[in-house]
Chain A
C-alpha cells in the first residue's frame, strides 16, 4: 500500500474507551412525553381511558362513577375484550383475523349442540368447543404460514365458511337459557356473578383480565413473546436469525382460536342462551379495540394491554353516552374519531425523534 493509503493507521491503535454518554440536554416537555410514550405504547390508551372515565364521571356524577356502573362496563366488554386478546396476538404478527367473531359463535354453538343434541356431558362439550376454536385457528394458521396466503384473504374466506357452517350446523336453532340452566349449567359458568362492595364481577370478566395480564407478561418475558414481535416486525429477518416462523405463526393462530373458544364460552355466560346469530359484531369491535389500543396493524409494535384499554374505552363511551341520553349513533361517531386519533398518535410516537 502506498503512503496515501495509510489513512487508516490512526484508528489501528486501540484506545481505552467507555460507552458514550451524553448530558441529556434540557428537553422540552413534549420531548419527554414522547420519550415515555415511545417506551410504553399502552400508556396513550390508558390515559384516554382514565380521561374519558373522568369526563363522564363529572358529567353524570354517581350514576356513572359508581362501582356498579363501572363494573357493568367490564361485563359489557368482556366478549370483545377476550376476542381482542386473540386479535392482538395475530395483528402483532402483521396479520389480521376477520374470522374471530365466527369462531367465537361457532364454538359456543358446538358447546351447546354437543351437550343437547348428542347428550355429551356438558363439561366435555365445553372442551370440544374450545378444541373446535383451536382447530379453526390452526386452519387459518396453516393457510397463512404453509400456503403463504395473505391473512386478510384467508380469514375473509374462513369467516364466511365458518359462519355459514355455523348456521347450517345449528339449523338456526337457539338453545334456551332455562334449558341450559336446568341440564347443563357449566355452559353458563363464565357468567357466574359475584359481588365485591357493590361492584359486580363475573368469571368471564376475571378471565378477560387475567388473560390479558398473562399474555402481556408472556409477550414481554418469554422467548415465544419476543419471537411473535420479531415475526411481525420482519418475518424474513426473524427466520434468518433463527426463529421458527412457521411454528410461531401456528402457535399464534391456534392460541387465537383457543381464546375465541373461551370467548364463545363467555358468550353463553353473558347471554344465558346459545344463539348462532350472536357476536356478529365481535370482528370489527375487536379490531377497533386493538387499533385504539395503539397496536400497529403493520405488526411488531404495541402492547396487548393497549387492546384491553381500547376495549374499555369503547365500553366507557357507549355506556356514558347512553346514560347521557344521546343517540346511539354518537357512540359510533366518537369511536370513529378515536380510531383516527389513535393511528395519528401512533405515527407520531413511531418517529424516533419528535
Chain B
C-alpha cells in the first residue's frame, strides 16, 4: 500500500465537556479525492481544523508524508502545503480581492523599495489574482481591487477556492465549497477540483451534497460521533447507503469497508 500524504491517528479534541473528536483516524492517499460526510455536529469541521492547523488536537498524531508534524497555527499547515477553504471563508470584507488572496504571503517589490521599505508589489499580485479567477470562470467579478464585501456570496466562495487552488501544494481541503454557489459556479468548482486532482494534488472535500460527493470522490470517509465510522467506495454503495451510515440508520458490514 502506498504511503498516505496526510494521515492522523487517535485525534481527540475536547471543548470543555463537549468531545468533538474521539480517537479519530484519518488517511488521505496521493492523487485521490476523499469526501468526508457526516451529520451536523459529527465533528467534521473540527477534524478539518485539526488537519489544517486551525485547532490543535489534545491527543493524537498527524503525519504529512509519513513525517509526524505538529501544527500550532494555520500558518504551520500552510507551510506544510495544506491549503484550506473554511466554511466561513476567512476573508476580510473591507479589503480587496487581491489583499485577501495574498493575506499572510504578500509579494514584496523587487529592489530596495521592497527590501528596505517592504513595499508590496501590487501589480504582480493583481495579475496573479486575475489569472486565478479567470481560471475558475469567475468572470462576473468586475474589479480585482474591489472590496470582498461588495461580492455576492458565491463570488466570495469562488475567491476563497481560487486562493486555495493557487497556493495548495500538497493537500487542498474544501469545507462545503459549493454550499453558497449557484449552479454554474458549483460546476466550475467541481471542474476545478478535478483539475487540481489531475495536477496530482489530493483533495479533502466536505460536503452535504450527495450527488457532488458521489460524482467526484474516490473514497468516502463517513464521520459519526467524533470518529471515522467507515470508509466506503462510492462505486459499491448508493447514496442512500451513505446517508444511512452517517445518520446511524444502518451499520457498516465490516469493521472497515473498502
Contacts and interface: CB of A to CB of B under 8 A. Distances in A.
Interface of A: 1, 5, 7-8, 11-12, 14, 17-22, 221-224, 226-227, 229-230, 233-234, 236-244, 300-301, 352
Given A222-B118, A240-B86, A243-B104, 10 more contacts: A8-B187, A14-B137, A223-B106, A226-B106, A230-B99, A233-B94, A233-B95, A236-B90, A241-B163, A301-B94
B18 interface: no
A244 B72 CA distance: 12
A230 B137 contact: no
A232 to B, nearest CB: 8
B211 A242 contact: no
A132 B43 CA distance: 48
16 contacts: A8-B187, A14-B137, A221-B119, A227-B104, A229-B99, A230-B92, A233-B94, A234-B91, A234-B92, A236-B88, A237-B90, A240-B54, A241-B90, A241-B163, A242-B75, A243-B103
B249 interface: no
Q: Point out which of A17, A21, A230 has the most chain B C-beta atoms below 10 A from its C-beta.
A: A230
Contacts of A22: 142
Pairs of residues from A and B, 7 with the lowest C-beta to C-beta distance, nearest first: A242-B104, A240-B90, A223-B106, A233-B92, A230-B92, A237-B90, A241-B103
The B interface is mostly helix, strand or loop, or mixed, namely loop
Given A1-B211, A19-B134, A22-B142, A226 B94 contact: no
Contacts of A223: 104, 106, 108, 118, 120
B93 interface: yes
Interface of B: 54, 73-75, 78, 84, 86, 88-95, 99-100, 103-106, 108, 117-120, 122, 134, 137, 139-142, 149-150, 163, 183-184, 186-187, 191, 211
A8 B185 CA distance: 11
B103 A300 contact: no
Nearest to A18: B139
B187 A12 contact: yes
B139 A242 contact: no
Chain A CB within 10 Å — which of B78, B94, B141 has the most? B94
Nearest to A221: B119
Contacts of B106: 223, 226
A244 B106 CA distance: 13
A22 B140 CA distance: 10
B207 to A, nearest CB: 15
A112 to B, nearest CB: 34
A300 B96 CA distance: 12
Contact of A237 (B75, B92, B134, B184): B92
B117 A222 contact: yes
Contacts of B149: 352
A237 B187 contact: no
Contact of B92 (A20, A222, A238, A352): A238
B76 to A, nearest CB: 10
A197 B209 CA distance: 74
A236 B93 CA distance: 12
Nearest to B88: A237
Contact of B187 (A11, A20, A240): A11
Contacts of A19: 134, 139, 141-142
B115 to A, nearest CB: 12
A44 to B, nearest CB: 17
Nearest to A301: B94
Given A12-B187, A221-B119, A226-B95, A244 B137 contact: no
Contacts of A352: 149-150
Nearest to B90: A240
B92 A300 contact: yes
Nearest to B99: A226
A241 B142 contact: no
Contacts of B86: 240
B120 A17 contact: no
Contacts of B142: 19-22
A5 B215 CA distance: 12
A22 B143 CA distance: 11
Contacts of B119: 221-222
B167 to A, nearest CB: 10
B164 to A, nearest CB: 10
A237 B184 CA distance: 27
B14 to A, nearest CB: 20
Nearest to B75: A242
Nearest to B167: A242
B74 A240 contact: yes
A292 to B, nearest CB: 20
Nearest to A237: B90
A230 B84 CA distance: 18
B88 A242 contact: no
Contacts of A301: 94
Given A233-B93, A233-B94, A301-B94, A239 B74 contact: yes
A230 B95 contact: yes
A11 to B, nearest CB: 5
A223 B122 CA distance: 11
Contacts of A239: 54, 73-74
Contact of A11 (B88, B120, B183): B183
Contacts of B105: 242
A250 to B, nearest CB: 15
A242 B184 contact: no
A88 to B, nearest CB: 15
A242 B120 contact: no
Central interface residue in A21, A234, A300, A301, by most chain B CB within 10 Å: A234
